[in-house]
Amino acid sequence: MDHTALELIELGAVFFVLGALGRLAGRVGLSPIPLYLIGGLFFGKGGVIPLADIGEFTQLASEIGVVLLLLLLGLEYSAAELVTGLKRSWMAGLLDIVLNAAPGAIVALLLGWGPIGAFVLAGVTYISSSGIIAKVLGDLGRLGNRETPVVLSILVFEDLAMALYLPTLTALLGGVSLLGGLQAVGISLLVISLVLVVALRYGRYVSALVDSDDREVFLLKVFGAALLVAGLASAMQVSAAVGAFLLGIAISGSTAENATRLLEPLRDLFAAVFFVVFGLNTDPASIPPVLAWAVVLAVVTTLTKVATGWWAARRSGIGKLGRARAGAELVARGEFSIVIAGLAVSAGAATGELAALATAYVLLMAVLGPIAARVVEPVARLVVRRTAGAPSTAGGAP
């Protein structure tokens, strides 16, 4: 069969299966991320039907998926919101880092993966999934709850932490010395500061540069700018993902809203490819040996995320039910965890075991997170009744 024809057939089969998996996830009320990863395991090396002819396309498409994920994440925030969120949540954010990065680092060291492996797995277990959490909050009608600003402020802090973590990780994966790593962090801090200043004072000019009344022109300009900035950021050792995130912050107002609506289908398409590619590069046979560790990490980091949300909500004067909801809503891990593991795998610095552990962990947490957010309220109400001896309505809007 002609090589091009075979590639088209394989791509068509992959996209069709992804669509079916996404529909199934929507039916059962879960994020499609675990199913996309399973789809990649199914079609990857060691899978049931290995694909061999679409590697170049899917690899580039997965890189574009990361860029679009971070771009649209940046479009959700204005510079002012980021600064306000940072002021509000820095103490909870630091607690979040300590409680949720430590388990991953400890397990990596116990498994003999060294300092770089510990740094990678610490990021995997630390960062919550903004995409999954935002969807869960909307689906459960909790956007107006008193604890929701607390949850969102912690997510903002995590996103900013990633803007420092990713370039540091890129430097370490590239074999850069300690001095070079510090230099990468310094450059990243400088770039972030400059972008925030530009976004606060001159954001309207950046928005005007990419804006257009013509949808086609607007799409080409925004998409092209994202790839251009991501490429330049990567060349400066800052991380393509961070560059896209910062561009999103710099675009504001109605331009950001229009860009989000226009780019969401593209993001969903390329992000799905990204998760599939990660699954394609993971041998399913490597998961069972690390499954027990993934379960341990899932249990421990579920408790630590709940503790983080509880403590942060308590500092804001929110009642017990609201604290429980805030903690449970932070449990989900997803896109960022796979981005981190994917960077390590593509750089050749991660073992197959690390990729397998990250895959199993995200599969567990992307399913457990939405479930925990749904069941926490009735469970918490029951506990409050038993401990207080009467029904309680504390904790904000139901």
Give the CATH number of the domain where residue 210 resides: 1.20.1530.20
CA nearest neighbour of 89 among 153, 167, 12, 18:
153
In a domain, residue 7? The reply is no
Distance CA 36, CA 239 (A): 25
In a domain, residue 14? The reply is no
Mean pLDDT by 10 residues, the chain (398 residues): 76 85 82 81 71 69 83 76 72 94 95 90 92 78 84 83 79 68 70 72 80 91 90 73 79 86 88 80 84 96 96 90 92 86 74 84 89 85 69 45
In a domain, residue 3? The reply is no
Helices and strands of the chain, counted as H and E runs: 15, 0
Cβ atoms of residues 365 and 331 within 8 Å: yes
Distances (CA, A) of 7 to 36, 61, 64, 310, 339: 20, 14, 19, 50, 25
Residue 184: predicted pLDDT: 67
DSSP sequence for 67-118: HHHHHHHHHT--HHHHHHHHHHHHHHHHHHHHHHHHHHHHHHHHTT-HHHHH
In a domain, residue 149? The reply is yes
Distance CA 236, CA 171 (A): 10
SS3 30: coil
Q: How many domains does the chain have?
A: 1
CA nearest neighbour of 329 among 309, 355, 349:
309
In a domain, residue 279? The reply is yes
Residue 393: predicted pLDDT: 45
Instruction: Tell me the CA end-to-end span of the chain in Å, nearest whole number.
Output: 60
For residue 10, what is the enclosing H or E element?
A: helix 3-28
Residue 36: predicted pLDDT: 83
Distance CA 176, CA 173 (A): 7
In a domain, residue 180? The reply is yes
Q: Which domain holds residue 243?
A: 25-347+354-388
Q: Burial-class residue 52 by CB neighbours within 10 Å (0-12, 13-18, 19+).
A: exposed
In a domain, residue 184? The reply is yes
Residue 238: predicted pLDDT: 62
**What CA dihedral angle connects 248, 240, 16 and 47, to 10 degrees?**
-150
In a domain, residue 246? The reply is yes
Count, residues in the chain: 398
Distance CA 352, CA 322 (A): 40
Greatest Cα pair distance, the chain, in angstroms, is 73
Residue 345 neighbours by CB under 8 Å, 6+ apart: 278, 281, 354, 355
- Strand segments, DSSP code E, in 127-245 are none
SS3 146: coil
Where helices occur in 174-214 by DSSP H, the ranges are 178-210
